[in-house]
Structure 1
């Protein structure tokens, strides 16, 4: 049903299908959208609007009264939603008094009887949905400006995908969005609940070095294929990862097992020690499991796991130069400072030549660990969000969990977790503890140099200042890593640059 000729129509055989369409539209509309609902009395406009609002609220019993007499009903949901009925509007000038522009500035408007405001609705962001009687059911005809059409085509492509998976009559709700072009839906029916990953390839972005974009240099996944490949490898070696129920690699849609909501933090957001120790044991097992650089994904499809190479490591640390230093010093980083910074990192990366290299998951920390209470051993540690995995120093992932970016892990607990990990790894006669500890310090420093830049970037570029609450912790972790003797050159560079390392 994707790549449709516009406008297009959907037959709704009954009220349940009208509600289903409303729930699908709830996954499609975004702040700034105006949905004009056109149709005679009894055509289903209010049913569809009610279903859409309840789906955005994720509350099936939410009271959604008709705005016939109030003209507008407002809802403070995941984003603001305004439901308008213009039937009693005496003059189009009253739209200004209602504040339609303000409603659309950060929210969505659903408008019944939009004919009363003909010519006043924004032409570039108004979706028209016309409901008409057809036989025993209704016909929904949808039209939208060209820039909005891809969203509707996508939600209907997912409808086709679910039908292929034997899930034609499921309920769907927005679950989360962990990246601009990857979102998750909660999908359920009488058989149970699962998660849908919707991943459209992001725009390439500007080339910044040797004709490559930032995402290409740091080897960020751009499709579902890497996720499927790493999922196959991990599940095949006894680790807990989401089962893939149905997949469409070309369209970038996966139906996944829902592993639950149990995490590794208590109600106060502090580490549950038992679960952190289990997570460290899981990593030790993974690091003792040789990983191939090429993984079979499907018939005729293989995936080459990228290396965590020098270019990737250095461009990530450059976030400190691009964002953190200008923030604390009030001026851009000088070119000679950049050059000397990368000289230091070339030296540190060179010291990784003798360290253990295997699969690293890249973001093995509290947000991406789902506790599996019903399992045993390492399978208690459910792993998600591993599509950006690489082959590189395994110490990186240990630094990710022991120095958890979003959680304060005390120095005492850090030491005990490290001791526990080393006790397990020492059983492997090929494990080089000295080289590993050196790599741990370098990787911890590399990761925290990246993070201090990310927190500032999220605040300044993305208007998400709450991430700055992690800055003191990240600097504390960085200071800890810099205590290793091999980190002397970086410690000296940061001190001269004015980074708080005392």
Structure 2
């Protein structure tokens, strides 16, 4: 393991030397939920950049990240410029957007309304300007991909809840997902879906005008999918409670900016996308719990279960609500999973 670390360090040193950043000061910035690791670099003249180190299998995410950033910049939005890249080695040198993530500002107590407003406007702007036909090779967030993602709930979450599903139960849950997903997938327009659109991945750039004041990070999982998904991701965040008044106002703000989107269809799609996203996160956190996961991530479990139950209360999601009522206690076995 130590030899691998030494070799990786040599690869990074060579990459930085080729990019002209060999003598820059380097400060670790930690990792995210993935295997990616980040460092802030400061050159002698004060210029800064971010090193993204996606080692091993993580290198496969570098080309999609480059591609999606380019599409976002083409749409007039703020995705980081690339100063240097070595995709086969999983290395990128990125524009530094600073430290003011929307999450940090919210935790500091800043007014949430302007932050959620510009983040909502970014989505309306993107959905108005991006033509899905211009990127036919991007992943399609449709029925096969969505049902594959919620399989983690059926496997990891039900196992962690001590309610493992037999073949018949698993088939019933799969059928319930298909029953609720199919009616909404063609009911709203599709556009560029960023997937992890939440305050931790949005950066405040006050020197830029309009929607460009919102910097966009962690976009490598982008694809083509329903326009409701990213607004749901923003407003029903696993990491924080968003007041109902903000949620309702931002939905209205988005729909006002995009009068061609039917409100009833959008709200139905929003509920189904919420159920699907929350179920995937529940499965992922249950995986972490089974492996002795981090307390910071396990702390999301109760909130996400509440969000999931709220989503499946929509009449369109009755098949899922019936399944959950039959197979899980009202608290979703959260206390059991957390070992309480």
Q: State the TM-score, normalized to the length of structure 2.
A: 0.89
Query: What is residue 423 of structure 1 aligned with on the other side?
Result: 256
Indicate how the Cα distance of structure 1 residues 482 and 463 shifts in structure 2: closer, same or farther if over 3 A, else same. closer
Q: In the alignment, which residue of structure 1 is the partner of 2:81?
A: 243
Name which of 340, 343, 362 aligns with 2:172.
340
Task: Quote how far apart the aligned CAs of 1:166 are.
Answer: 1.6
Q: Which residue of 1 aligns with 2:284?
A: 454
Aligned to 1:438: 268
Q: Distance in 1 between matches of 2:167 and 2:309?
A: 25
Of 134, 151, 155, the match for 1:322: 155
Partner of 1:290: 130
CA contact (8 A) 1:478 1:501 kept: no
- Where 1:222 maps in the other structure, the secondary structure is helix
Q: Please tell me whether the aligned partners of residues 173 and 185 of structure 1 are also in contact (alpha carbons under 8 angstroms).
A: yes
Counterpart in the other structure of 2:190: 357
Runs in 1 of length 4+ with deviation above 4 angstroms?
268-271, 292-295
Structure 1 residue 455 displacement after superposition: 1.9
Partner of 1:224: 62
Contact persistence 2:187–2:269 (CA under 8 A): no
CA contact (8 A) 1:364 1:401 kept: yes
Q: Specify the alignment match of 1:259 in structure 2.
A: 97
- Alignment partner of 1:394 out of 222, 227, 232: 227
Q: CA contact under 8 A between 2:75 and 2:130: conserved in structure 1?
A: no
Aligned twin of 2:3: 149
Distance in 1, Cα, partners of 2:306 & 2:249: 18
- Within 5 Å, which residues of 2 pair with 1:114-129? none
Single out whichever of 374-383 and 172-181 deviates more from structure 2. 172-181
Q: Counting helix residues as a fraction of each chain, which structure ranks higher?
A: 2
RMSD after superposition: 2.2
3-state DSSP class of the match of 1:224? helix
The structure carrying a bigger strand percent of its residues is: 1
Q: 2: CA distance between counterparts of 1:260 and 1:169?
A: 20
Q: Which moved more, 1:310-319 or 1:365-374?
A: 310-319
User: What is the match of residue 309 of structure 2?
Assistant: 479
| 1:89-108 correspondence to structure 2 within 5 Å | none
Change (3 A) 1:269 1:201: farther
Displacement of 1:163 in angstroms is 1.7
* Counterpart contact for 2:195–2:229, Cα < 8 Å: yes
Aligned partner of 1:172 in structure 2 is 26
- Which is higher, the Rg of structure 1 or of structure 2? 1
The answer as to whether partners of 1:293 and 1:391 remain within 8 angstroms in 2 is no
Larger relative contact order, structure 1 or 2 (CA cutoff 8 Å, min sep 6): 2
Aligned residues: 328
Does the Cα contact within 8 Å between 1:197 and 1:256 map onto a contact in 2?
yes
Equivalence for 1:196: 51
Q: 1:501: how far off?
A: 7.6
What is aligned with 1:275? Answer: 115
* Conserved 8 A contact 1:187-1:194: yes
Q: Secondary structure of 1:256's match?
A: strand
Normalising by structure 1, we get a TM-score of 0.61
**Structure 1 gap ranges (5+):** 1-146, 204-220, 296-302
- Write the deviation string for residues 389-446 of structure 1: whole angstroms up to 9, x where unpaired: 01111211111001011010122221112111111111xxx42333222211110110
Question: In the alignment, is the contact (CA less than 8 A) between 2:132 and 2:190 conserved in 1?
Answer: no
Task: For 1:181 and 1:419, locate their aligned partners in 2 and report how far apart those are by CA, in whole Å.
Answer: 37
Cα distance change of structure 1 residues 346 and 304 upon mapping to structure 2, 3 Å threshold:
same
**Aligned partners of 2:198, 2:40: CA distance in 1, in Å?**
23
Structure 2 distance, partners of 1:481, 1:189, is 48
CA contact under 8 A between 2:163 and 2:328: conserved in structure 1?
no
Query: SS in structure 2 opposite 1:358?
Result: strand
Could you say if the C-alpha distance between residues 340 and 269 of structure 1 is closer, same or farther in structure 2, counting changes exceeding 3 Å?
Answer: farther
Distance 1:406 1:151 in 2: 32
Whole-angstrom distance in 2 between the partners of 1:392 and 1:319: 20
